[in-house]
Amino acid sequence: MSVFVKAMRVVGDLDDEFYRDERQRDVWNEAAAVGFQLFVWAGLLAGAVLPWAAGIAGAYAALGVLVLVLVISSTTIGFARQRDVDLHATVTYAKPRLALALVLYALGAVGIVGRLLTPTSDSPASMWSGMAVGAVVGVAVAAIAIRGKRRRLARFEAEDD
């Protein structure tokens, strides 16, 4: 068991006697999944609204919220992957809720960039060049992620055979 899995077991208190009862564990796992999804949606909504509604202070708060959503989501997915459950190998990305999540994230990102970079930037050209570099890096990361998903899906299908 890796250090990461051990740490997450401590965070989740997974060795507690509570988890010995199968029904309690199943119900709690479902409740935790609902709570996690509620956290993600609330974070995305707050991240999308704060930069637009609360100015620069809201943009900093939104940045913190969106980073927190990203870190907790990544940790959750990483914990499952360490336990041989690969979300990306079996999930279908063509869902309306994913599109909505991406729209909320994009609204937050645009609001954060607009609030934090535009008023303090001495040179609009440097801001736009930074955004262009960020877009190129973002597309490259997306391409790598897609290629990794295809490899994981192929490995998942090979294991089924």
What is the C-alpha separation between 31 and 37, in angstroms, rounded?
10
Is the CB of residue 140 less than 8 Å from the CB of residue 150?
A: no
Cβ(109)–Cβ(50) below 8 Å: no
The model's pLDDT over 67-96, given as tens digits with 9 standing for 90+, comes to 999 999 999 999 998 888 888 777 777 788
| The pLDDT of residue 98 | 86
pLDDT one-digit tens code per residue, 27-69: 999 999 999 999 999 999 999 999 999 988 999 999 999 999 9
Alpha carbon separation from 65 to 44, 45, 50, 71 (Å, rounded): 8, 10, 10, 10
